[in-house]
Structure 1
Amino acid sequence: MLEARADGTVLAFDFGLKRIGVAVGNTFLRQAEPLNIIHAPTNDGKFAEVAALIGNWQPVLCVVGLPLHPDGESHEMTQRCRRFANQLQGRFKLPTILVDERYSSAVLNGKRGAHIDDDAAALILQQYFDENP
């Protein structure tokens, strides 16, 4: 994955097979906000929505949550998220960074409702900001 080289908007993604949570922030304020949930049923539909978000927000960086087992080992979704991150970087020519999301579920545990995916993306992005001053 490439490193960010510029200040500006950052989009974060919590990738899932059914939904992709999206959050936004910027390198100046370093505050993540839930933005959107992508519900498209096909990969082409998902990437069309991602393309629209990238066109609107003009990010300098994308952040993707990387799910791992508690012991740090990979599983099926780990590989799918890596692939999604590689596709973001390849299709949109944007630096894309993977962020360990093992504990975002624990933070959101107990929260139910329509906005959990974009809240998860916001947690992932905030973690990135907090760990990369």
Structure 2
Amino acid sequence: MPDSMSHQMIMAFDFGTQKMGIAIGQAAIESSTPLALFPMKDGIPDWNQLLKIVKEWQPTLFLVGLPLNMDDSESELSARARKFARRLRHQTNITTWMVDERLTTREARDELESYQEQGRAKKIAADSIAASLLIQSWYRAPQGVQP
């Protein structure tokens, strides 16, 4: 991992219209931790609350899941996720990348079952685990597209 990446605090978002998964990761140790679900109102966050979370964690990079169809085409949800990512970047002036989120939800549900078996899933949802998986995939291959 390049040295410039090793000091990054990454915050990832699994965008949704009713709720959004959020995770935080520290690149130096390649960690990723799902946070509590964030409520959305028709795809719009309470920006004041979201910015409080950003201020608390002080990320240096944002990843926003880009929901693509299996044929690589974008959907209405893709456009809304891009709009959220652009506004997030504008509100915070923090570098923001869109990353392919296909298959993360399925993988997240499997991981959630593991959390439940360990009794650790009380406040963690599949969407937040999906956000955590976005961070893990970024560590393996840091690539994305601009919002």
Q: Would the TM-score normalized by the shorter structure come out above 0.5? A: yes
Structure 1 residue runs of 4+, over 6 Å off? none
Q: What's the offset of the Cα at 1:49?
A: 2.1
Question: Counterpart in 2 of 1:122?
Answer: 132
Shift of 1:40: 4.6
TM-score by length of 2: 0.78
Deviation at 1:130, TM superposition (A): 1.4
Change (3 A) 1:44 1:63: closer
Letter in 2 for 1:16: G
- Give, in whole Å, the separation in 1 of the partners of 2:78 and 2:86: 12
- After superposition, the C-alpha distances for 1:30-68 in whole angstroms (9 at most, x for unaligned) are 1211012111537362x2221011110111001000000
Contact 2:17 2:40 in 1 (8 A): no
1:18 matches 2:28: no
RMSD across aligned positions (CA): 2.2
Aligned length: 128
In structure 1, give the amino acid aligned to 2:85.
A
**Which segments of 5 or more consecutive residues in structure 2 lack a partner in the other structure?**
114-120
The whole-number CA distance in structure 1 between the counterparts of 2:84 and 2:24 is: 18
- Distance in 2, matches of 1:25 and 1:106, equals 21
What secondary structure is seen at the aligned counterpart in 2 of 1:16?
coil
